[in-house]
Structure 1
Amino acid sequence: MKRIFIDCVFFILLALLCSCESRSGVGAGTDNFKADSIYYARGFEIARFDDCTLVTLRNPWDTLKTLKRYVLVERDKPLPDSLPEGEIIRTPVEKAVFYTTVHSSMVAQFGCIDAIKGICEVQYVTDSLILERIADGRIADIGLATAPNTEKIIDLNTEVIIASPFENSGYGAAEKIGIPIVEAADYMERHPLGRTEWGRFYGLLFGEGERADSIFFATSERYNNLKELAAKSTYRPRVLLERKYGASWIIPAGDSYIGTIHADAGADYVFREVEGNHNVYLPFEVVLDKAYDVDLWLFKYNTNHEFTYEILKDEYMPYSNFRPFKERNIYICHTTRTGYYDDITLHPDRLLEDLIFIYHPELLPSGYIPRYYVPMK
């Protein structure tokens, strides 16, 4: 009920703002607009006018506030004399720099790989076509996402930067070079399909709105069919996720997209009562006390070596106190070798299927081959 109320208030304010701008001359000629239906995402709204498309991003840390507004205008048409308030982006974008491989992979899957001119932290790229272009110089290495090479960004004649925002932080020197920064806050969505739906916005940026819509609706249908399949099982194994990092164990909150997808796969996530859509950091002793007797333990990693029970025990001896360690019920996912992060945004249905195979293998056809998680040896 709260979600419906917030959505209604936000949309009414959006409509009033746009119409007021039109009457004042700021957005003349844009009184009539059509809002796209948004099904899972909470972070953005799309309003289509005769001569532009307005995309309004909600602040994920305060959803009654606006994070950013983008006015998309087709590049082959004259710029209208008056437009709604917002940062103007000519579409389709032809030269973009990406701070994360998640978003560059999405755009490549829309068939827009030619628009990818630079990527930060290229060591995390798994897409073979993108890797090929990095190797031959068609896609530039922009350095760290926290300290990108702004000179190189300028030299590439970049039209748009795609970056993930964080609370109370900015983009440093990149904010001063006059290039629009698209704040890709999809990772803050609570529902896996909410992240997928952000692809509809990115598709509009790169002139592939119809293809992005097609991927979203196909993924949504398959995801929900798999969710219904998992619901047929009355057994829900108790599950622990991730492992200790430094002094703390990083725990996904129960309402995060990770918590949601494990619940949809038919698992009883042991920290489901942790509120919010973010990660929390807990001492090892708290996790052990809560989860020592769970049925299964899943974690992701990105190291040069394969994890084994022996290596896990050598990393931290107390891990061996968990029941899944003793009974050899740990599943692991190497995020780079499997392309986990490249897939999870546009194709959460694939991860859901993997998890159903782990939790309820009897529900899937025999011979199913997991994409991401495998039993630890």
Structure 2
Amino acid sequence: MKHIFLSSLACLLVLLSACSGAHRPSNETAASDSLSNPVYAKGFSVKTLDNGVRLVDVADPQEDEDRMPVDYHFALVQKGAQDVEIPQGYVRVDVPVERTIVMTMLQLSNFLILDGLDAVKGITGTKNLFDKDVRRRVKEGQIVKIGMEGNFDTELILTAHPEVIFISPFKRGGYDAIKETGITLIPHLGYKEMHPLGQAEWIKFVAMFIGKEQQADSLFNHIAEAYNSMKVDPNSLSSDTIPTVFSGEMHGGNWYAVGGKNSLAQLFRDAGADYVIHDDNTGGVNIEFEQMYATAANADYWRILNSYEGDFSYQALKKAEPRNELFKAFREKRVIYCNMKQTPYYELAPVRPDLVLTDLVHIFHPAMVPADYQSTFYQLLK
């Protein structure tokens, strides 16, 4: 598993070196709109003015006006530029940003793949964090731990001297105290994207703030090409070869089930499987066991992602909830599993959905993947 992870990063580092040619400095921010504008992501858009100012508009990818009625507007101005006019309603941000704080592992994954750790001066914590460079920087004090969402340490935030802070609105929050510091808060809404490539494309968003646009564009094109080449054409499958799949576990008396338009559901579809929940919900809801069982009792596969101490097993799954053995996927030993304590899932999966997709295709349709394929994240539970 570790070998696959390192090999994947090595390939991307080679690609980064190839696309950072001498004709363009790595901190150049005057890239054309074609580099930064998203193809799959719905949460941000970009427009460059004649004076070189780049306007970045951020809105809810799910268009949920009840939860996110406000859009965000930023004017990215090259550092050192004087007397630059920006449109009314836009917040000026001088770029490239050299000091920032990130609130989630998804955000951190963007900086990792862009080789932009030098700009990260604060994170929320190191739970399930594999990256040795980040851990070293935390230990040496180059990166501070500011506490978890809802319980931030404002003094530690100020000691990091961030120019901007990347946030995830409408999670646990706790940003009121941070707002009082006057530091510009940048909403990163990759977690709300409905397509896996849409989530990954937020590397372009981060790249605009740290001067890595060309690297981000080349990387994303590579990722999207790999994803789309692996995607299973549903027309190539007969109805009896399309497996059904469900996801999640019981926690605290409820089962958190993601909706039919969630990016995970899209991954299942692109891997040639049918996710058992077909509603229009993009997020997830807590439901009772009986409701999930009524929906997924005869599903062919069961996907589980958790942080389990030691080696997870069917016995452990049954011990957690005895009724789990009633599912067909349990009885036929078709549980798809990833342990975040053993795999750098949140450091890599958000920006490499092509690797996640290949794992799933390998499980659902093994003949479509080379026989010697080694999984990166998911494999059938033994």
TM-score category of the 2 structures, normalised to the smaller one? 0.7 to 0.9
Ranges in structure 2 where 5+ consecutive residues have no aligned partner: 1-31
Q: How far did residue 71 of structure 1 move? A: 1.0
Q: How far did residue 246 of structure 1 move? A: 1.3
Using CA pairs below 8 Å that are at least 6 residues apart, which structure has the higher relative contact order? 2
* Residue 280 of structure 1, aligned match among 285, 293, 298: 285
Partner of 1:299: 304
Partner of 2:330: 325
* Percent identical: 28
Task: Give yes or no for the alignment of 1:62 onto 2:65.
Answer: yes
Residue type of the partner of 2:192? M
Question: Is contact 1:51-1:80 (8 Å) kept?
Answer: no
Cα RMSD (Å) = 2.1
Partner of 1:121: 125
* Residue 92 of structure 1, aligned match among 88, 93, 96: 96
Matches within 5 A, 1:1-377: 37-49=37-49, 50-59=51-60, 60-62=63-65, 66-166=70-170, 171-228=175-232, 232-234=236-238, 235-271=241-277, 273-377=278-382
Tell me, in whole angstroms, the C-alpha distance in 2 between the residues paired with 1:37 and 1:120. Answer: 29
Q: How far did residue 230 of structure 1 move? A: 7.1
Residue type of the partner of 2:245? V
Q: Could you list the runs of 4 or more consecutive aligned residues of structure 1 that deviate by over 6 angstroms after TM superposition?
A: none
Instruction: Figure out how many residues of one structure are paired with residues of the other and give that number.
Output: 344
* 1:269-296 superposed Cα distances (whole Å, 9 cap, x missing partner): 111x121210122110011122111111
Q: How far did residue 41 of structure 1 move? A: 1.3
Partner of 1:19: none
Residue type of the partner of 1:366? A
* 1:84-108 superposed Cα distances (whole Å, 9 cap, x missing partner): 4312111111001111122122112
Please say which of residues 222-231 and 361-370 is displaced more in the overlay. Answer: 222-231
TM-score normalised by L of structure 1: 0.86
* 1:326-362 superposed Cα distances (whole Å, 9 cap, x missing partner): 1211121112421112222211111000000010011
Tell me, in whole angstroms, the C-alpha distance in 1 between the residues paired with 2:319 and 2:113. Answer: 40
Ranges in structure 1 where 5+ consecutive residues have no aligned partner: 1-32
Question: Is contact 1:294-1:324 (8 Å) kept?
Answer: yes
TM-score normalised by L of structure 2: 0.85
Residue type of the partner of 1:57? V
Tell me, in whole angstroms, the C-alpha distance in 2 between the residues paired with 1:167 and 1:130. Answer: 24
Tell me, in whole angstroms, the C-alpha distance in 1 between the residues paired with 2:168 and 2:89. Answer: 22
Change in 2 beyond 3 A, CA 1:127/1:38: same
- SS of equivalent residue, structure 1 residue 126: coil
Question: Is contact 2:152-2:174 (8 Å) kept?
Answer: no
